Amino acid sequence: MKILSSGNPKDHTIASAVSKLFPYAEFASRATGYDLKFWDPGSEAHFRKQIVNYNVFINSSFICNGGQQALLEATHQEWSTNNIFGHIISIGSTAEWLGIDSMYPTYSIQKRSLRDRSLQLNGKHNIKTTHIIVGGINDGKPEHATWLELEHVASVIKWVLLHSCNIPLLQIEK
């Protein structure tokens, strides 16, 4: 497996837990020269050029204005074009069940859209997609101390990647 994960592994993020389980993984964040918002046309071109060097993409960072879904789409398109049989894992949120009733309705709607698109793309062009719905993570903020540990999310990612079955959707909570 050649893994690229969004997020900075030096911050208290899912990427930091992924780096512990997969020390050979590489990371896409501002700290590593990526601008995943794709607001600058060169940033999308850079991502597209790099993603073909991997066969696993962990789409773990929420990016405003549909950025996380844009990463899913770009990865799937590049792998399809280049005949790469890979696995895209996107991290969702239990907020996607709330929609407009959420405290953050735009966030909820974007996560729901990401889930739906991930499910639509699963299995097309021999590319697996998995959407993991996560119920609150302990990101180091004191008010989140009782939430799901980052290592639990990373261990589920590893389990999905090593499993012989296709797992398009699952949810974990503490």
Measured on CA atoms in the order 153, 158, 161, 166, is the torsion positive or negative? Answer: negative
pLDDT of 133 strictly over 90 = yes
* Spatial separation of the C-alpha atoms in residues 41 and 137, rounded to whole Å: 32
Look at residue 56 in the predicted model and tell me its pLDDT.
98
Cβ atoms 27, 5 nearer than 8 A: yes
Band (102; pLDDT cuts 50, 70, 90): confident
pLDDT top residue among 99 and 94: 94
Residue 150, domain extent = 3-173
* Spatial separation of the C-alpha atoms in residues 44 and 109, rounded to whole Å: 23
Look at residue 97 in the predicted model and tell me its pLDDT.
85
First vs last C-alpha separation in the chain: 29
Look at residue 111 in the predicted model and tell me its pLDDT.
93
- Give the chain's mean pLDDT: 94
Band (105; pLDDT cuts 50, 70, 90): confident
Q: How many domains does the chain have?
A: 1
Question: 174 in helix, strand or coil?
Answer: coil
How much is the average pLDDT of 60-87? 95
* Spatial separation of the C-alpha atoms in residues 131 and 170, rounded to whole Å: 7
CATH of residue 18: 3.40.50.720
The string of DSSP letters for 46-97 reads HHHHHHTT-SEEEE----TTTHHHHHHHHHHHHHHHTT---EEEEEEEGGGG
How much is the average pLDDT of 23-32? 95
